[in-house]
Amino acid sequence: MNPRNSSHRSKGSQDLEPGFESVPPKTHHRRSSTPTKGTAEVNARFILVCLGALVGIVVLILVVIRIGMEMNKQGFKPISAQNANETDPSAKTFRVDDFEEGNADEWKGPLPEEVASKFAKAETTEERLKWVRNPEGVAEALRAFFESGPGATERVTSVAEKGPMQTETVTFERFVARLQDGGERLVCVVLNNNEGKVDFDSYARRGSAPWSELLSGAVEGAEEMRVSAEPGKYYNFGFADEKNWRHFRADTPDLEVSLDLYAALGSETAKKMEEAVAEGEGSVTLSIRAVDDSHKRRQFEITKVLTAGWVR
């Protein structure tokens, strides 16, 4: 019987040419998506390593915080005083950056924030004098300020940190004493002689002449005045020529009006003022004078920049 003509074929059979053998069809196998035992173990180990590292980092952070807290309890110690500016050659002056945890024992006394708080909240002149620079030199002015001057009625409600500042001669931490009437006083704790002391002149915004006498014309000028200044563009009257003058707008909490101050354009005074207010408003200590009755318009010439900031 000819297989080609057979009408009875078994299921799945194929017609083949003579000489060819039947080859079973290829079977396609899909790779299983289920991980093998070895892969699962590797993944588990990786996860455990990551969790262990994370726990280690958290523990390290907690240890550092704990150490910092313990060192603060034991006392605030600077680590060095290299490159510090010194006002007293025999005394060590600390930089603000030196106030980190360390092993040096040069620092003594309360921390700067404690000094600021004790001074601001002191009740008597004798108590305040314990916390100021040059107590003998400022005793009379301090007594007058707190007993018959503005300080007699001011009540400090809180003291907040403002940040450090360093000039050519001194380094100090600044704090803001907030008053019950809404006003503020700047408390500058100078870091020198291995301890911190408050600068009374900057706290009282002390000047060599009263503002009332400068504005009335009773005095022509003053050698030392403290203001907050910023760049301005007001040129008028005796200071109308922009080619000759550089204008600065100045304010002080001791006056209800602003002042217009001028430095000769291109002078060293103008350069120092521009540096002091380069980032906007800045505090400066100046020498000023009226020119041809300019006091009547609250205009003064800056004859000298004593320092950036209010601490000398």
Q: What is the CATH number of the domain that holds 165?
A: 3.10.450.50
Give the max Cα distance, the chain.
144
Residues 120 and 190 in one domain: yes
| Residue predicted with more confidence, 54 or 243 | 243
Contact 199, 141 (CB under 8 A): no
Three-state SS at 79: coil
Residues 153 and 172 in one domain: yes
CB atoms inside a 10 Å sphere around CB 288: 25
The pLDDT-based confidence of 47 (bands split at 50, 70, 90) is confident
Q: What angle do CA 165, 129, 143 make, to 5 degrees?
A: 105
Proportion of the chain above pLDDT 90, given as a percent: 61
Specify if 156 maps to a domain. yes
Q: Which residues pair with 235 in a beta bridge?
A: none
pLDDT at 67: 55
Residues 198 and 102 in one domain: yes
The pLDDT-based confidence of 84 (bands split at 50, 70, 90) is very low
C-alpha–C-alpha distance, residues 66 and 35, integer Å: 44
Specify if 232 maps to a domain. yes
Residues 198 and 216 in one domain: no
Q: Select from 203, 228, 256 the last residue of a domain.
A: 203
C-alpha–C-alpha distance, residues 247 and 234, integer Å: 6
Q: What is the mean pLDDT of residues 201-214?
A: 97
Tokens standing for residue 9: 């074929």
The pLDDT-based confidence of 62 (bands split at 50, 70, 90) is confident
Three-state SS at 245: strand
Specify if 261 maps to a domain. yes
Residue 96 has pLDDT above 60, yes or no: no
Q: What is the mean pLDDT of residues 180-192?
A: 95
**Whole-number average pLDDT of the chain:** 81
Q: Select from 187, 203, 219 the last residue of a domain.
A: 203
Task: Report the range of poorest mean pLDDT among 37-46, 82-91, 301-310.
Answer: 82-91
Residue 27 phi, psi dihedral angles, 5° rounding: -105, 125
| Residue predicted with more confidence, 50 or 296 | 296
Residue 73 has pLDDT above 70, yes or no: no
Q: What is the mean pLDDT of residues 159-176?
A: 93
Q: What is the mean pLDDT of residues 219-228?
A: 98
Residues 145 and 227 in one domain: no
Q: Phi/psi class of residue 176: alpha, beta or left (left: φ > 0; alpha: ψ in -120 to 50)?
A: beta
Nearest Cα neighbor of 117 from 73, 158, 75, 173 is: 158
Residues 165 and 253 in one domain: no
| Residue predicted with more confidence, 109 or 163 | 163
Specify if 8 maps to a domain. no
Strands (E) located in 110-220 = 156-166, 171-179, 184-192, 195-198
The pLDDT-based confidence of 57 (bands split at 50, 70, 90) is confident
C-alpha–C-alpha distance, residues 199 and 40, integer Å: 69
Q: Phi/psi class of residue 201: alpha, beta or left (left: φ > 0; alpha: ψ in -120 to 50)?
A: alpha
User: CA 191: distance to chain centroid?
Assistant: 17
Specify if 285 maps to a domain. yes
Name the pairing type of β-strands 245-251 and 221-231: antiparallel
Task: Report the range of poorest mean pLDDT among 14-18, 64-68, 193-197.
Answer: 14-18
The pLDDT-based confidence of 54 (bands split at 50, 70, 90) is confident
Number of domains the chain is built from:
2
Residues 159 and 250 in one domain: no
Specify if 272 maps to a domain. yes
pLDDT at 89: 39
Residues 269 and 224 in one domain: yes
C-alpha–C-alpha distance, residues 274 and 302, integer Å: 12
Three-state SS at 132: strand
C-alpha–C-alpha distance, residues 195 and 191, integer Å: 6
Structural domain boundaries enclosing 172: 96-203
**Dihedral Cα 299, 303, 305, 311, nearest 10 deg:** -80
Nearest Cα neighbor of 131 from 181, 84, 75, 175 is: 175
CB atoms inside a 10 Å sphere around CB 104: 12
Give me the CATH number covering residue 250. Answer: 2.40.50
Residue 188 has pLDDT above 50, yes or no: yes
Specify if 197 maps to a domain. yes
Residues 280 and 256 in one domain: yes
Amino acid (one-letter) located at 138 = V
Residues 179 and 151 in one domain: yes
User: CA 125: distance to chain centroid?
Assistant: 31
Specify if 198 maps to a domain. yes
Residues 164 and 199 in one domain: yes
Residue 154 has pLDDT above 70, yes or no: yes
Compute the radius of gyration of the chain from its Cα atoms.
Answer: 39
Tokens standing for residue 15: 């017609």
